[in-house]
């Protein structure tokens, strides 16, 4: 369980987060929603440790994250930022970075560690690209390579900031498949999403932020019926159906 209690964050005279209470449970995909500037990414950065000067406390499975060393944190929490770098390393080398919390700074992999790297690449489907440089991959392929690193890191909790941004339908569904498989493994998954349609297709628990404060928590059904899509996002939920996909929700401008 991730628990955020009364999180406050300021930059200069600007208040970014205001007494934010938030939690995410294992075996669920928890979605953070909000317009640009609402505080979603800032909250993720507080949880990940990228921001350390905040008020309040953040617990992961009962442990205060502020008291953990970087290595201890990396064994408990994996992070995928919205903007991914393009390092001149191979996909296999990038995947191996996910094992660094367990191998130490030498990065030397035992045979068992090498097998975990290989299994992660097989699972994600990137094994044919193992020797390719990450900086030469397409956007979707690079996204898959970083997901593979998360798989290799194998932490109980995962944070993702807009993991489907700028992906086509094929890669977006592959990302959904990754997150659902992690949910089945009992991991704690927290993700921000821009698309409300993606959110209701994927999420189990919804939290909505506005101007640095948390204004809603509930299920997908609760969110759809709350009026927040119309008031906060200017979008109206519409129930549709098709023979191929069954019933689902789309959002239209108000």
pLDDT at residue number 174: 86
Question: Which domain-ending residue is among 155, 176, 205?
Answer: 155
Whether residue 248 is found in the same domain as residue 165? yes
- Pair 224, 210 in one domain: yes
Does residue 80 lie within any of the structural domains? no
d(CA 174, CA 194): 17
Please provide the DSSP assignment of 134-188 as one string.
GGGS-HHHHHHHHHHHHHHH--SEEEEESTTTT--HHHHHHHHHHHHHHHHTT-E
How crowded is residue 180: how many other Cβ atoms within 10 Å of its Cβ?
A: 13
Residues 132 and 206 grouped into a single domain? no
| 171 shares a domain with 143 | no
Question: Is residue 151 a part of any domain in this protein?
Answer: yes
**Regions of the chain where pLDDT drops below 70:** 105-107, 245
Query: For the chain, what is the domain count?
Result: 2
Residue 244 covered by a domain: yes
Taking the C-alpha atoms of residue 70 and residue 73, their distance in angstroms, rounded to an integer, is: 5
pLDDT of the residue at 170: 85
The predicted pLDDT at position 139 comes to 87
- Is residue 43 included in any domain, yes or no? yes
Residue 121 within a domain = yes
Place of tokens 């979008």: 235
To the question of pTM greater than 0.85 for the whole model, the response is yes
Convert the pLDDT of each residue in 4-16 to its tens digit: 999 999 998 899 9
At 228 the three-state DSSP class reads helix
Q: How many residues does the chain have?
A: 254
The pair of three-digit structure tokens given for residue 116, joined into one six-digit string? 């975990």
Residue 68 located in a structural domain: no
| pLDDT at residue 172, rounded to an integer | 86
Q: Note down the domain range covering 44.
A: 2-61+156-253
Residue 245 shares a structural domain with residue 165: yes
Cα of 225 vs its chain's centroid, Å: 25
Do residues 237 and 123 share a domain? no
Evaluate whether residue 73 is within a structural domain: no
DSSP secondary structure of 70-98: HHHHHHHEEEE-SS----SSBHHHHHHHT
pLDDT digits (tens, 9 = 90+) for 68-122: 999 999 999 999 988 899 999 999 999 999 999 998 766 688 899 999 999 999 9
- Last residue of one domain, picked from the residues 103, 127, 155: 155
Q: Are residues 163 and 148 in the same domain?
A: no
Residues 136 and 164 in one domain: no
According to DSSP, the β-strands at 28-33 and 205-210 are: parallel
Q: Are residues 150 and 160 in the same domain?
A: no
- Can you give the CATH number for the domain in which 26 is found? 3.40.50.300
Per-residue pLDDT, 82 = 87
Given this model, what pLDDT does residue 248 score?
83
Q: Which of 65, 30, 25, 71 is nearest to 48 (CA)?
A: 65
């Amino acid at each position: 369980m991730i628990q955020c209690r009364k999180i406050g964050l300021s930059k200069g005279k600007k208040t970014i987060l205001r007494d934010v209470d938030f939690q995410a449970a294992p075996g669920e995909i928890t979605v953070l929603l909000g317009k640009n500037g609402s505080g979603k990414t800032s909250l993720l950065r507080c949880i990940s440790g990228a921001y350390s000067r905040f008020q309040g406390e953040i617990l992961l499975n009962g442990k205060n994250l502020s008291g953990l060393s970087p290595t201890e944190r990396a064994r408990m929490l994996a992070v995928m930022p919205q903007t991914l770098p393009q390092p001149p390393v191979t996909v296999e080398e990038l995947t191996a970075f996910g094992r660094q919390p367990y191998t130490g700074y030498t990065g030397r992999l035992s045979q068992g560690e090498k097998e975990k790297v290989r299994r992660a690449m097989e699972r994600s489907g990137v094994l044919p690209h193992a020797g390719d440089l990450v900086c030469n991959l397409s956007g979707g392929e690079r996204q898959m390579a970083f997901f593979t690193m998360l798989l290799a890191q194998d932490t109980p909790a995962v944070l993702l900031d807009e993991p489907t941004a700028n992906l086509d339908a094929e890669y977006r569904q592959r990302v959904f498949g990754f997150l659902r498989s992690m949910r089945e493994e009992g991991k704690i998954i927290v993700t921000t999403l821009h698309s409300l349609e993606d959110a209701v297709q994927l999420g189990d628990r919804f939290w909505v932020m506005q101007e640095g404060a948390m204004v809603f928590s509930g299920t997908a059904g609760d969110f759809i019926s709350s009026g927040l899509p119309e008031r906060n996002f200017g979008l109206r939920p519409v129930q549709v159906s098709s023979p191929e996909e069954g019933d689902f929700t789309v959002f239209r401008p108000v």
